[in-house]
């Protein structure tokens, strides 16, 4: 018997690029292509009418999808990973683990699409969600019960960039509710900066449209798990509903993942300078790379960097609107994680589906501006922001 090759774990930036098939479990390629081919086929020929081969129909599995899923599982420290057609699909697949009458605990600062799905589950599936302040781990305790099935965390949150203590919350949940699963939306950090499965989470998911892809030319979602039985349930739903990511999109996703480190390093470096610039000019800035952030130390313990998304307040909704519309380099757009810089007003755009009274209850400022920092030269980004601040009157107010 030949011993299995020893798995050498490299640094994260290397792991993103290094394709490891030393165990022979990856898709086979007779031509040793340097880039995994796109198996753009709906079905596969079989050798037998009674025995199916490794692949039979692309809804159930495809070599290009298997390739990217194996690589994603590696970089996310997961047993298995699954590629689906959007980040919201990833969350939808996960929430199908919850039965009618069971409950979800989630943060009170969530992406608008997440909030919309949870509201749908309440009105159509009899699944109640408790929204809590996840910055205080102990606030979760009164809501834990035998009905709790999922604890859904964003950290940093979108758009107020709040931090949840993943290890502590996972410890509390697993101790008090062994049947509950801790789920983390890690889209904002990416596996390069934070790996929640290593911190105690049971499931992690991403909008692959963001940093994993990096160019906003792809819609994708990723679910990663560390338990085989949960993985089988996730796969059953994906196969049954036909939401697996198509071959060409899998190829694009794989290509994007390989450049994640160089993109994120540049974007993060730019974001740190921009956050300092805004804070220096008197704005209230939400960014875990600033020592003024109330959870600066906690975030630094869980992650290897603050990321490239930040938000700030001007104190006036109309002023924020003028500032946003006065920028030129910063594209007014929802989403984040691509190579070019984006600017938005979450309450008017990505979080507009959350009713105004709910936004008020959750202390989501209507004047909040979110910046998603790209790879442009930081001086150009700063100069454009300064010009917009001057034109809008925000600079005078800040000073």
The per-residue DSSP string of 85-104 comes to S-HHHHHHHHHTTSPTT-EE
Q: Which member of 165, 185, 202, 249 is catalytic?
A: 185
Contact (CB, 8 A) for 246 and 277? no
Q: Which member of 74, 210, 263, 266 is catalytic?
A: 210
- The question of whether 18 is a catalytic residue gets the answer no
For residue 175, is the peptide bond before it cis, meaning its omega torsion is within 30 degrees of 0? no
The arrangement of strands across the sheet holding 128-132 comes to 80-84, 221-225, 203-207, 181-185, 148-154, 103-107, 128-132
Angle at 311 between CA 308 and CA 312, to 5 degrees: 140
- The question of whether 205 is a catalytic residue gets the answer no
Q: Which member of 59, 79, 128, 147 is catalytic?
A: 59
- The question of whether 211 is a catalytic residue gets the answer no
Distance CA 134, CA 376 (A): 34
Contact (CB, 8 A) for 110 and 88? no
Q: Which member of 55, 111, 192, 205 is catalytic?
A: 111
For residue 177, is the peptide bond before it cis, meaning its omega torsion is within 30 degrees of 0? no
The per-residue DSSP string of 379-391 comes to HHHHHHHHHHHHH
- The question of whether 59 is a catalytic residue gets the answer yes
Task: Enumerate residues 6+ apart whose C-beta is below 8 A from 185.
Answer: 91, 111, 114, 152, 153, 154, 204, 205, 206
Q: Are strands 181-185 and 309-313 parallel, antiparallel or unpaired?
A: unpaired
Which residues are designated catalytic?
Answer: 59, 111, 185, 210
């Amino acid at each position: 018997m030949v011993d299995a090759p020893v798995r050498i774990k490299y640094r994260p930036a290397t792991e993103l690029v290094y394709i490891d098939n030393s165990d022979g479990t990856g898709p086979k390629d007779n031509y040793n292509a340097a880039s995994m081919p796109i198996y753009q086929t709906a079905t596969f020929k079989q050798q037998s009418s009674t025995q199916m081969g490794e692949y039979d129909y692309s809804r159930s599995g495809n070599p290009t999808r298997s390739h990217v899923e194996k690589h994603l599982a590696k970089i996310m420290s997961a047993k298995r990973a699954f590629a689906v057609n959007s980040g919201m699909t990833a969350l939808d697949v996960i929430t199908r683990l919850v039965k009618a009458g069971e409950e979800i605990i989630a943060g009170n600062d969530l992406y608008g699409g997440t909030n919309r799905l949870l509201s749908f589950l309440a009105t159509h599936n009899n699944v109640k969600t408790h929204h809590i302040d996840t910055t205080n781990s102990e606030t979760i305790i009164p809501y834990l019960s035998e009905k709790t099935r999922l604890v859904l965390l964003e950290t940093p949150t979108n758009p107020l960039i709040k931090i949840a203590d993943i290890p502590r919350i996972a410890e509390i949940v697993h101790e008090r509710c062994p049947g509950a699963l801790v789920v983390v939306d890690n889209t904002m950090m990416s596996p390069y900066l934070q790996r929640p499965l290593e911190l105690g989470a049971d499931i992690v998911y991403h909008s692959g449209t963001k940093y994993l892809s990096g160019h906003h030319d792809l819609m994708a979602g990723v679910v990663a798990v560390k338990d085989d039985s949960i993985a089988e349930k996730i796969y059953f739903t994906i196969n049954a509903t036909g939401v697996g990511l198509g071959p060409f999109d899998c190829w694009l996703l794989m290509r994007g993942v390989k450049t994640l480190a160089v993109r994120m390093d540049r974007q993060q470096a730019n974001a740190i300078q921009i956050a300092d610039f805004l804070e220096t000019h008197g704005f209230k800035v939400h960014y875990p790379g600033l020592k003024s952030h109330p959870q600066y130390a906690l975030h630094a313990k869980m992650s290897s960097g603050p990321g490239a998304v930040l938000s700030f307040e001007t104190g006036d909704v109309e002023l924020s609107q003028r500032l946003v519309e006065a920028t030129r380099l910063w594209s007014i757009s929802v989403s984040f994680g691509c190579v070019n810089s984006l600017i938005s007003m979450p309450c008017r755009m990505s979080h507009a589906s959350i009713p105004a009274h709910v936004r008020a209850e959750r202390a989501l400022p209507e004047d909040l501006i979110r910046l998603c920092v790209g790879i442009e030269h930081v001086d150009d980004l700063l100069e454009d922001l300064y010009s917009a601040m001057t034109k809008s009157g925000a600079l005078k107010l800040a000073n």
